[in-house]
Chains A and B, each alone.
Chain A
């Protein structure tokens, strides 16, 4: 129960941070991405604030033997760079720049009742589901996808 409350609290605080920083406004995000227009450096300041706090906190928290509500840490350990990472990030960047929403601000703006944000979140869920199906196909042996005579 405490675990669920902590998660809910973290989500709420995250949303407040997005609101305070102006990231719930797509025009601020697009202003940052518009390097060759009236550039708005806001997003860079948001990233600096967020990364600094997380950098320090994560070093302290990692000294613990375990998190509060789990038996061990589940942090990513991969170090390899692959095509999936680059291709996926490139596709995400295009979508981010078309709508001015990444997943967090999209969800928060949708909860505010903004209809384009609701449309964004629904189609984001569809896009995620499509990727899950696509990856499952790729994960199968090639012989199952292309039955050779």
Chain B
């Protein structure tokens, strides 16, 4: 059983929603991390500095958490290592093809009541459920 704290989950979620709202108020754009990061990798994209600053803020947040609350990160296992590379390739390719990830479609898209985002979120959730089921319960692995 996992240690599950509904209050921390709700509060953390509210902070994520607040961050995405600040981004909307400031820039008038969807706060989708795969879109912002993917744009940095293109030779030409609009508002490159806004993208870089947001990604920089995420990374600075990661460094701060590491210094102030290291327990929010977990020790990595061998399994996490071997799967990280195919996982990254699929996440990178899939989010660009499908125009979004958990933040852009899941938080902002559902918050805006977008039908495309509802479909995208439904599809990646079901595909995630099926993948974990296959790996953990059919193949007996432990991603």
Contact = CB atoms under 8 A, between A and B. Distances in A.
B96 A131 contact: yes
Given A103-B103, A128-B37, A22 B9 contact: yes
B131 A92 contact: no
Interface string A115-145: 1110111111111111110110000000000
A78 B41 CA distance: 24
Categorize the interface residue count of chain B: 35 or more
Interface residues of A, number: 116
Contact of B61 (A12, A40, A97): A12
Contact of B115 (A81, A111, A112): A81
Contacts of B53: 4-5, 7-8, 11
Contact of B99 (A47, A51, A75, A88): A88
Given A14-B16, A86-B119, A108 B89 contact: no
Given A79-B116, A97-B132, A15 B57 contact: yes
Interface string B50-62: 1101111111111
Interface in B15-61: 15-31, 33-34, 37-38, 41-42, 49-51, 53-61
Nearest to A77: B114
B94 A91 contact: yes
8 contacts: A34-B132, A50-B107, A69-B27, A75-B30, A85-B116, A85-B119, A104-B102, A111-B60
Interface of A: 3-28, 30-31, 33-38, 40-43, 45-55, 57-58, 61, 64, 66-70, 72-76, 78-81, 84-104, 106-117, 119-132, 134-135
